[in-house]
Amino acid sequence: MAEADASPIRLVIHGGAGTITRASLKKEREQAYAQVLEQSLAAGYSVLAAGGGSIDAVIAAIVVMEDSPLFNAGKGAVFSNAGRIELDASIMDGSTRQAGSVAGVTTIRNPIRAAHAVMAQSEHVMLIGSGAETFAVEKSLEIVDPSYFHTPFRWNQLQKAISQHRLLRDHDALPGKPDTAENMDEKHGTVGAVALDRHGNLAAGTSTGGLTNKRFGRVGDSPIIGAGTYADNRSVAVSATGSGEMFIRTCAAFNTAAQVRLLHRSITEAADNTLEEVAAIGGDGGLIVLDAKGNHAMRFNTSGMFRGTIDGDGIAQVKIFG
């Protein structure tokens, strides 16, 4: 494509949605989050600005958040009831609708890279547990000891959840308490990215540790194509965060894309409509959506969502609160 015909570029990211208010987030924490979100945007932007593909931009942006202990993905992810960190991730290419995902992996440093390897180097879409890990070793992905992912505050969060017999989503306030910093569990979420490259191709990806105190091999929406992640050049790229079970039941990411493609809804209307469906069955959360013209939406029905965007001008915009 000649430079003059090149598509606009854009990257949109999220770092989880939930009860995130000014009262609940201390200033230093807010700045720390903003800094990592900016680094993530810069990493994805450098791929797009150099003419790279949207898939590579999504991976670059997500790897930064997986490597940061602040978010519930990769290092710093939440603990299961058994005291393990079980990671889920998925990625989708909007130009081919090829997709890859992994679930319940415990030793792959960057699950988003493993999801991409499943997409690009296997005939499958989804690999789980030890099989996914064997595949990752074969594909020479970086393997770490499970203790690499551990952080003390996540461990404390698990102890609290176990003592209260609760399954904690990130960003949940303690029951019956106001949303002050003292009453909140540390608020770091699932991460996701959607990108549009110079060739007009969309891609989406999502990575998470899931829910604190999860049991029985629970898997949420994040690694499920059509629930947590979807991309189709004919409509939009979507990454979700929120109550995973409800996002699965509403096929949230595909649902949003289908409304744009088939009902010709605007991306904002489509996202809001999906979030209403999620709310109607008792869930909440957020969606980032990007279309092939570069229009984007960052919608949520919680008090906040870590989020940001950057386009061809290279100026990162980061927001946290509603």
Task: Out of 111, 210, 283, 304, name the contact with ligand ASP by CB under 6 A.
Answer: 210
Which amino acid makes up residue 223? P
Q: Which of 19, 190, 241, 256 is catalytic?
A: 190
Of 19-27, 35-43, 159-167, 241-249: span binding ligand ASP (CB under 6 A)? 241-249
Told to judge if 190 belongs to the known catalytic residues of this protein, a careful annotator would answer yes
CA 229 to chain centre: 8
> Based on CB atoms, which residue is closest to ligand ASP, 95 or 241?
241
Nearest distance in Å: CB 45, ligand ASP: 24
The span from the CA of 298 to the CA of 285, in Å, is: 11
Are residues 1 and 198 in contact, defined by beta-carbon separation less than 8 angstroms? Answer: yes
Are residues 124 and 118 in contact, defined by beta-carbon separation less than 8 angstroms? Answer: yes
> Based on CB atoms, which residue is closest to ligand ASP, 113 or 187?
187
Determine if 220 is a binding residue for ligand ASP (CB under 6 A): yes
> Based on CB atoms, which residue is closest to ligand ASP, 186 or 221?
221
Determine if 16 is a binding residue for ligand ASP (CB under 6 A): yes
Dihedrals φ, ψ of 130, to 5°? -65, -30
Determine if 190 is a binding residue for ligand ASP (CB under 6 A): yes
Length of the chain: 322
Determine if 244 is a binding residue for ligand ASP (CB under 6 A): yes
Are residues 291 and 268 in contact, defined by beta-carbon separation less than 8 angstroms? Answer: no
Q: Rg for the chain (alpha carbons), in Å?
A: 18
Nearest distance in Å: CB 16, ligand ASP: 5
Task: Out of 226, 242, 283, 308, name the contact with ligand ASP by CB under 6 A.
Answer: 242
For residues 149-178, which are near ligand ASP according to CB under 6 A?
169-170
DSSP string, 202-270: EEEEEEE---BT--TT---STTSBTTTEEE-TTSEEEEEEE-HHHHHHTTHHHHHHHHHHHS---HHHH
> Based on CB atoms, which residue is closest to ligand ASP, 282 or 314?
282
Residues designated as active site: 190
Residues making contact with ligand ASP (CB under 6 A): 16, 169-170, 189-190, 208, 210-211, 220-222, 241-242, 244
